[in-house]
Amino acid sequence: MHSDTRAPLPLKIAAIGGLVFLLAPIALIFVYAFTTEEKSFQWPPPGLTLKWFGVTMGRADVWAALALSVKVAAISTCIALVLGTMTAAAVARSRFFGRETISLLVILPIALPGIITGISLRSAFSLLDIPFSTWTIVLGHATFCIVVVYNNAVARFRRTSGALIEAAMDLGADGLQTFRLVILPNIGTALLAGGMLAFALSFDEVIVTTFTAGNQSTLPIWMLEELIRPRQRPVTNVVAMLVVLVTVFPILAAYWLTKEGEHTEGAEK
């Protein structure tokens, strides 16, 4: 829908105002990371300092939480990549009984409020006497990460011609070679984009994690505790800024990777 007419002024003001509303709070995080004010959220900041970056670097609890978050996100992403691709291959390639049910099943963990997923996993763990560990966190995260990989992969599979695979097999490639030389290069960027979004999703998750984590803290759990019971606000400010930087990069990268293709990712989180 394009037209050469110029936008009416009120529309332009409303649209740009909306954009400011969307971006200004995130920009504010970057200012507060440098403030010298320690006790309150005073604006404008009385002065700017780099001191809190050093203090944050020296905090063992921040590093431990970061390490756990990266570990959980990496494992969950790997599981999601394997399961999401397999499911996408089956759903896109063939029609079978229960196919619609499977596409619904994959979306369910993200369609239902996180608190429902969290509390049902927690009560299942306690029913089965499974102790909380890194693996219970991974189980919860992989459950909702599968959908982003699946969404990206299934869209790409649908656009990849089946004739391509048949041609490869006709020309003598076995199943493994077909996968490695024909299928993988075709779906590679979709998987990369899906994987990055899954990583970002897991890295940021807090609601399901509060139910499946036990005593361990991922970075969002650490952040949540700071929000409820603030201990050192400047450190929280710095961590918040670093988290924005870490999540922004995969988004921009995923944008560039799929810019040429369709926009399926990010349509639902």
Partner 1 sequence: MTLPAILPARGGIAARAIDWMMRHPAMFTFLMVLPIVLWLGIVYIGSLIALLMQSFFSIDEFSGVVKQEFTLSTYAELLRPANFDIILRTILMAASVTLASAAIAFPIAYFAARYAKGKWKALFYIGVMLPLWSSYLVKVYAWKLVLAKEGILTWVFEKLHLTWLLDGLLALPVVGGNSLSVSYLGTFIVFVYIWLPYMIIPVQAALERVPGAMMEAASDLGANPGQSFRMVLFPLALPGVIAGSIFTFSLTLGDYIIPQIIGSGRLFIGQAVYVQQGTAGNIPLAAAFTVVPIVIMGVYLWGARKMGAFDAL
Does 181 contact partner 1 by CB under 8 A?
no
Does 36 contact partner 1 by CB under 8 A?
no
Q: Which of 133, 247, 253, 261 binds partner 1 (CB under 8 A)?
A: 247
Instruction: State the DSSP code for 9.
Output: H
Half-sphere exposure of 180 (CA within 13 A, CB side): 5
Report the nearest approach of partner 1 to the CB of residue 261 (Å). Answer: 14
Does 207 contact partner 1 by CB under 8 A?
yes
Two tokens, residue 151: 């969404």
Nearest to 72 by CA among 120, 135, 148: 135
Does 8 contact partner 1 by CB under 8 A?
yes
Length in residues, the chain: 269
Nearest to 90 by CA among 72, 102, 74, 108: 102
Does 208 contact partner 1 by CB under 8 A?
no
Instruction: Indicate the residue among 78 and 206 with the shorter CB distance to partner 1.
Output: 206
Does 184 contact partner 1 by CB under 8 A?
no
Distance (Å, whole) CA 269 – CA 261:
19
- By CB under 8 A, what part of segment 50-89 binds partner 1? 82-83, 86-87, 89
Distance (Å, whole) CA 91 – CA 85:
10
Does 34 contact partner 1 by CB under 8 A?
no
- By CB under 8 A, what part of segment 106-165 binds partner 1? 106, 108-109, 111-117, 119-124, 127, 139, 142-143, 146
Does 188 contact partner 1 by CB under 8 A?
no
Element (H, E) at 91: helix 60-93
Report the nearest approach of partner 1 to the CB of residue 205 (Å). Answer: 8
Number of CB atoms found within 10 A of residue 73's CB = 24
Does 23 contact partner 1 by CB under 8 A?
yes
Q: Which of 55, 57, 67, 105 binds partner 1 (CB under 8 A)?
A: 105
Distances (CA, A) of 23 to 26, 181, 236: 6, 42, 20
Does 243 contact partner 1 by CB under 8 A?
yes
Report the nearest approach of partner 1 to the CB of residue 56 (Å). Answer: 15
Q: Which of 22, 50, 60, 163 binds partner 1 (CB under 8 A)?
A: 22
Report CA dihedral (43, 32, 38, 48) to the nearest 10 degrees.
-90
State phi, psi for 35 to the nearest 5 degrees. -75, 150
Q: Which of 129, 185, 228, 231 binds partner 1 (CB under 8 A)?
A: 228
